[in-house]
Amino acid sequence: MKKIYNYLIAAVFFCTPFVTVDAQQSVVLDLNRTIELANDSSLEAFRTQNMYFSGYWEYRTYQANRLPSLTMNLTPAQYNRDITKRYDSQSNLDVYRTQQSYYAYGGLSVKQNFDLTGGTFYLESNLTYMRNFGDSKTTQFTSVPIRIGYSQSLLGYNAFKWERKIEPLKYERVKKEFLYNVEKVSEKATSYFFSLAMAQAEYDLAKENMASSDTLYRIGEQRYKIAAISQADLLTLKLDRVNAENSLKNKAIDLKRAMFTLASFLNLDKNTQIKLELPSHLNDLQIPVDLALQWGRSNNPQLLELKQNILEAERSVDKTKKESRFNASVNASIGFNQVAETFGDVYHKPCNKIWYL
Asked if 210 and 143 sit in the same domain, the reply is: no
Asked if 349 and 208 sit in the same domain, the reply is: no
pLDDT of residue 135: 66
* In a domain? residue 318: no
pLDDT of residue 351: 67
Residue 54 domain boundaries: 2-63+162-313
CB 130 within 8 A of CB 18: no
Check which CATH number belongs to the domain holding 266 and give it: 1.20.1600.10
pLDDT of residue 4: 42
Give the span between the Cα atoms of 88 and 46, in whole angstroms: 76
Residue count (the chain): 357
For the whole model, what pTM was predicted?
A: 0.67
Asked if 171 and 81 sit in the same domain, the reply is: no
Q: Provide the strand spans (E) within the chain.
A: 20-21, 26-30, 69-88, 93-114, 119-133, 138-153, 273-277, 329-340, 352-356
Asked if 252 and 104 sit in the same domain, the reply is: no
Residues (pLDDT < 50) of the chain are: 1-23, 356-357
The number of domains in the chain is 2
Q: Provide the strand spans (E) within 115-203.
A: 119-133, 138-153
